[in-house]
Amino acid sequence: MLAAQNLFSYYGKSPILQDLNFELASGKLFTILGRNGVGKTTLLRTLMGLTDRTEGRLTFNGADIGSTRTSDRALLGIGYIPQGREVIPRFTVRENIVMGTFARRDGKRTIPDYIFELFPILREFIDRRGGDLSGGQQQQLAIARALAMEPKMLILDEPTEGIQPNIVQQIEDVILRLNREMGLTIVIVEQNIPFARRASDQFILMDKGRIALAGQASDLTDEVADQYLTF
């Protein structure tokens, strides 16, 4: 479903990502790991066309998307939940979720029922402003907004960072359910090693803008974590 070949990504004239190569099959969960500042978020932004320019080849479902606009990538079925969530604080929960439907090809503006099954609190707070929710509830809202577009692939940037512990488990369970029960392809930046081991079909470890190691969950040993992830 997603593949990069000799991929470089730039901010200005500086290459932040250098010579990345990976492939992700449909229905798999792909985890991106690494210390702060190694290029993980830049990789997600590159997938969405949010860096200044790229070189190399980036394909989604066989189509080259390297020069495709961000809005058109969303229409292709790529949903993105960035760091900071970017919930619109003055919009209600309903209005925030409906925003996601504008990336649907069928033009429907209805909220899929399963979203409220995944996140019951959002039904309870449907008319509450997004800015009045807790951080964890806003993260649930951001995921719900992306799901409203009925994506083929979901990209999440550290979805449990700074979230209260009781909601962290809920979000992790939803991610696993989306992937394993609903077959949604997921790309996630994650710092929680136990969750990465439990959830991943494959992972890459990044260092200084390059892929230092790639493998399956069983390859994410304590020794690997100590070498590449310990600060």
Q: What share of the chain in percent tops pLDDT 90? A: 88
Residue 208, both tokens: 């200084």
Question: Residue 41 and residue 32: Cα distance in Å, rounded?
Answer: 9
pLDDT score of 27 more than 80: yes
Is the pLDDT at 153 greater than 80, yes or no?
Answer: yes
Determine the pLDDT at residue 106.
86
- Residue 76: predicted pLDDT: 95
- Are residues 140 and 167 in contact, defined by beta-carbon separation less than 8 angstroms? yes
Q: Which residues, other chains included, contact 134 with Cβ-Cβ below 8 Å and sequence gap of 6+?
A: 164, 167
Task: Give me the pLDDT at residue 166, please.
Answer: 87
C-alpha radius of gyration, the chain, whole number? 17
Taking only the tens place, the pLDDT of each residue in 199-212 is: 999 999 999 999 99
Which domains are present in the chain?
Answer: 2-228 (3.40.50.300)
| Mean pLDDT for the stretch of residues 50-56 | 96
Q: Are the C-beta atoms of residues 186 and 179 closer than 8 Å to each other? A: yes
For 67-110, list the strands marked E by DSSP.
78-81
Model confidence over 89-98: pLDDT tens digits? Answer: 999 999 999 9
Asked whether residue 33 carries a pLDDT value surpassing 90, the answer given is: yes
Q: pLDDT tens digit string along 99-108?
A: 999 999 888 8
Q: Choose among 2, 10, 5: nearest CA to 29.
A: 2
- Mean pLDDT, rounded, for 126-148: 96
Per-residue pLDDT at 97? 97
Mean pLDDT of the chain: 94
d(CA 182, CA 191): 24
Distance CA 151, CA 135 (A): 23
Phi-psi bin for 23: left (phi > 0), alpha (psi -120 to 50), beta? beta
Assign 231 a pLDDT band (cuts: 50, 70, 90): low
Please enumerate, as own/partner, the contacts of 168-172 that have beta carbons within 8 Å and a separation of 24 or more.
Answer: 168/136, 170/136, 170/140, 171/136, 171/139, 171/140, 171/143, 172/199
Q: Which pTM does this prediction carry?
A: 0.94
CB 167 within 8 A of CB 136: yes
Per-residue pLDDT of 168-185, as tens digits, reads 999 999 999 999 999 999
The pLDDT of residue 42? 97
Task: Taking residues 44-54, report their average pLDDT.
Answer: 96
- For residue 85, the one-letter residue type is R
pLDDT band at 138 (very low <50, low <70, confident <90, very high): very high
Mean pLDDT of 55-67: 96
pLDDT for res 162 = 87
